[in-house]
Structure 1
Amino acid sequence: MNGAPLQTVSDGSTTVAIAVFLGQATAFVIACWIAKRSYDGYRDARRPALLWLALGIALLAAVPTVVRFLLPTVFDASSLTTSVLATASEIAGLTAILYTVYGRP
């Protein structure tokens, strides 16, 4: 992918590309905000479950968003590499959240 990220949209519509970018940026900001609030709760109450929840949210939503955007754009990574890394992060995030719910953090 040598072109700009806006050129990778299948129908070629710049409006659609901007909408997708804004949606991804919004999801990233919300995920970071939730993770920060969870971490702040951990700092105040020293409850490890909140730390695991913050980690899980970050790995589930924020990290894959960055991976899907930066790897192809900056490092010219293949679609397979990007998908594998983003999915691995999502699985790790879900595992951390499951540990929060069912484990004894």
Structure 2
Amino acid sequence: MAGPVLQTVTGGNASIAIAVFVGQAIAFVIACWIAKRAYDGYREARRPPLLWLALGIALLAAVPTAVRFLLPTLVGASSLTTTVLATASEIAGLTAILYTVYGRP
């Protein structure tokens, strides 16, 4: 059943599409794992910078990956909408990480 679905991919062959999907899934899992470790550190030490770091990593890596995959797939969002939302999340994540480094959380 996966054969016909993968054959409808436009712009490349199925093996490239699978490789991209697997790469994105791995990036998402790693980002979530790092954010969870930072959050666990916050819960143990009650240090606000760790909470901001966890939020920043999630917004920088995990959320844009999910947005780029889920929005076009589930709701058929346009490329522009997907790019704007993913970029906004990345900027918010970088801002949270900068606040962790230079601010006084």
Q: Do they superpose with TM above 0.5?
A: yes
* 1:39 alignment counterpart: 39
Question: Could you tell me which residue of structure 2 aligns to residue 27 of structure 1?
Answer: 27
CA RMSD of aligned residues (A): 1.3
TM-score where L is the length of structure 2 = 0.91
What is the CA deviation profile of residues 18-73 of structure 1, one whole-angstrom value per residue up to 9, with x for unaligned ones? 00000000000000000000000000000000000000000000000000000000
Q: How many residues align?
A: 100
Q: CA deviation at 1:7?
A: 1.2
What amino acid sits opposite 2:99 in the alignment?
Y
SS at match of 1:7: coil
Q: Distance in 2 between matches of 1:99 and 1:58?
A: 15
**TM norm structure 1:** 0.91
How many percent identity over aligned positions?
Answer: 81
Q: Aligned equivalents of 1:72 and 1:37: distance in 2?
A: 30
1:7 and 2:9 correspond:
yes
**What is the identity, as a one-letter code, of the residue corresponding to 1:100?**
T
Distance 2:90 2:82 in 1: 12
